[in-house]
């Protein structure tokens, strides 16, 4: 690994590292915030998955998450959203290719050579973090939009791996909206049964469960009705008795202004559950 950026804020260090990923077969970057407490002891980790067109930079520069991570004593890991590089398949469209990995393991050419984001987030990146930083091994996951989709799917499919999950404006049922249909068709092929493996609503209806889900959704979000369809998740959870707290907010849109307004709640939400898990 190579450290490529480092900034001191709120008593801790915001770093960006690059490394060669075996899973993605390319060079990757991730951001990590290490609060002051990390000097003295191992801390739990909160993974934040970003949305379409984003990199590891968006949440670290726009959300203010570091302040609350320092207050709560939680390490934040912020990966990129897709494989990168000249050799990596891409598209001129913002919702496909680099910047739009959708946190799936692609099975279709040319995407399958590099687009294995599900396994990267689930296995390779945590292994890297746990072997190079002062972490406890307890981790939670959250995300925004496409990243909210990724966080929900990873937690629902691997409840033993994550203590808690939350999302801002998640794509809850990519199999039934244009963003997901486009990406899944390219990455996974035309068999829609394969799509359901990465669809949070379908996973819940099939019996996958977590202890609790926190979701924040802005009602002025341009994508709310057409691409996000938050109520589908809410209804599926009610049908399957999965505990969910969906908070709808007047006037808030899809931007990082929305995320910055409520990111403290999410960090506290995860910190409480992570700290409780350490005592078990």
Two structure tokens written together for 79 = 């990966």
Q: Which of 135, 168, 128, 130 is nearest to 269 (CA)?
A: 168
Give the model's pLDDT for residue 278.
79
| Helix/strand/coil for 248 | strand
257 with 61: CB under 8 angstroms? no
Helix/strand/coil for 205: helix
> Which percentage of the chain shows pLDDT scores above 90?
98
pLDDT at 64 over 70: yes
Kindly state the average pLDDT of the residues 145-151. 98
DSSP state of 90: -
What is the mean pLDDT of the segment spanning 143-164?
98
Instruction: Give the list of residues 6+ apart from residue 63 with CB closer than 8 angstroms, or none.
Output: 256, 259, 260, 263
The residues, ordered by sequence, that sit 6+ positions from 209 with a Cβ below 8 Å of its Cβ are 156, 159, 240, 242
The answer to whether 47 and 148 have CB atoms below 8 angstroms apart is: no
pLDDT at 279: 72
Helices assigned H by DSSP within the chain: 57-62, 65-72, 117-119, 125-132, 146-157, 178-188, 192-195, 200-205, 230-239, 256-278
Domain parsing of the chain, residue ranges: 2-278
pLDDT digits (tens, 9 = 90+) for 109-137: 999 999 999 999 999 999 999 999 999 99
Distance, in Å, from the CA atom of 99 to the CA atom of 265, rounded to the nearest integer, reads 27
How far is it, in rounded angstroms, from Cα 213 to Cα 208? 13
Pick the CATH number of 2-278 from 3.30.750.24, 3.40.50.1820, 3.40.50.1370, 3.40.50.1000: 3.40.50.1820
- Asked whether residue 280 carries a pLDDT value surpassing 70, the answer given is no
Mean pLDDT throughout 19-31?
98
pLDDT digits (tens, 9 = 90+) for 241-277: 999 999 999 999 999 999 999 999 999 999 999 999 8
The pLDDT confidence band at residue 6, using thresholds 50, 70 and 90, is: very high
List active site positions. Answer: 145, 221, 254
CB 106 within 8 Å of CB 116? yes
How much is the pLDDT for 217?
A: 98
Q: What is the mean pLDDT of the chain?
A: 97
Q: 187, 111 in Cβ contact below 8 A?
A: yes
Angle formed by the axes of helices 256-278 and 65-72, nearest 10°: 20
Task: Tell me the C-alpha distance between 149 and 143, whole Å.
Answer: 7
pTM beyond 0.95: the answer is: yes
State residue 162's pLDDT score. 98
Mean pLDDT of the region 153-177: 98
Would the pLDDT of 55 be above 80?
yes
């Amino acid at each position: 690994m190579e450290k490529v950026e480092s900034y001191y804020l709120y008593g801790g260090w915001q770093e960006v590292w690059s490394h060669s990923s075996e899973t993605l077969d390319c060079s990757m970057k991730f951001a990590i915030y290490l609060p002051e407490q990390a000097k003295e002891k191992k801390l739990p980790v909160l993974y934040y998955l970003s949305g379409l067109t984003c990199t590891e930079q968006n949440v670290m520069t726009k959300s203010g998450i570091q302040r609350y991570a320092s207050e709560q004593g939680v390490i934040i890991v912020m990966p990129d959203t897709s494989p990168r590089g000249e050799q990596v398949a891409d598209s001129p469209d913002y919702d496909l290719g680099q910047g739009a990995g959708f946190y799936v393991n692609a099975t279709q050419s040319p995407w399958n050579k590099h687009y294995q984001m599900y396994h990267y987030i689930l296995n390779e990146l945590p292994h890297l973090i746990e072997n190079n930083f002062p972490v406890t091994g307890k981790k939670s996951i959250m995300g925004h939009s496409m990243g909210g989709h990724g966080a929900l799917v990873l937690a629902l499919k691997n409840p033993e791996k994550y203590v808690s999950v939350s999302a801002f404006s998640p794509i809850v049922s990519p199999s039934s909206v244009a963003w997901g249909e486009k990406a899944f068709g390219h990455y996974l092929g035309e068999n829609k049964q394969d799509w359901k493996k990465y669809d949070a609503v379908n996973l819940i209806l099939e019996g996958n469960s977590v202890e609790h889900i926190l979701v924040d959704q802005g009602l002025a979000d341009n994508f709310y009705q057409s691409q996000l369809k938050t109520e589908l998740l809410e209804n599926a959870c009610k049908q399957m008795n999965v505990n969910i707290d969906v908070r709808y907010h007047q006037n808030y849109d899809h931007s990082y202004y929305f995320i910055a307004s409520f990111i403290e709640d999410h960090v506290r939400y995860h910190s409480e559950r992570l700290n409780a898990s350490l005592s078990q």
